Amino acid sequence: MDDELLELALSTGKALETRGWILTTAESCTGGWIAEAITAISGSSAWFDTGFVTYSNAAKMRLLAVPESTLQQFGAVSTQTVEAMVTGALANSNANVAIAVSGVAGPTGGTPDKPVGTVCLAWSWPGQPVFSETCHFNGDRTSIRRQTVIHALSSILYKAT
């Protein structure tokens, strides 16, 4: 892992620990990269509980209780799906903070409505409604995934400080 991600994960962890918040992740296009960045930090078990890598729709439904109707109506890459993922991650963990991501990292899989680089993210923090957004990142597969990890962790850090 590069120094920038390591420093961001470390800062995020310190902020979560200061707040007494415990994090869970629900990842699709990042394939566990957010959880990997977090668990690269020694002692992260103090503020990280569980990481779900739910790449297939079947896994999203089975492990995170994403409704099949949500996936059929809106697709895996949608704010509706990541909101369901974040809710499912919280329900199936001992965490009180969650991040969920699903996107099109490429180079294939893009459509006119959801081109390569489209990534949906959702967060849940104690006492607040779920927040979601759609981002459009540029670059190759690795770059899009890395930008997603940075955005996810930066947003958690911002909210925790």
pLDDT bin (cut points 50, 70, 90) of residue 44 is very high
- Whether 73 has a pLDDT exceeding 90, the answer reads yes
Q: HSE of 49 in the Cβ direction (CA atoms, 13 Å)? A: 19
1 has pLDDT over 90 = no
Neighbours of 138 (CB within 10 A): 9
Q: For position 143, what pLDDT does the model report?
A: 98
Reported as a single tens digit per residue, the pLDDT across 88-115 is 999 999 999 999 999 999 999 999 999 9
Q: Place domain 3-160 in its CATH homologous superfamily.
A: CinA-like (3.90.950.20)
Q: pTM of the prediction?
A: 0.97
Identify which of 14, 25, 18, 155 has the alpha carbon closest to the alpha carbon of residue 90.
25
Mean pLDDT for the stretch of residues 122-144: 97
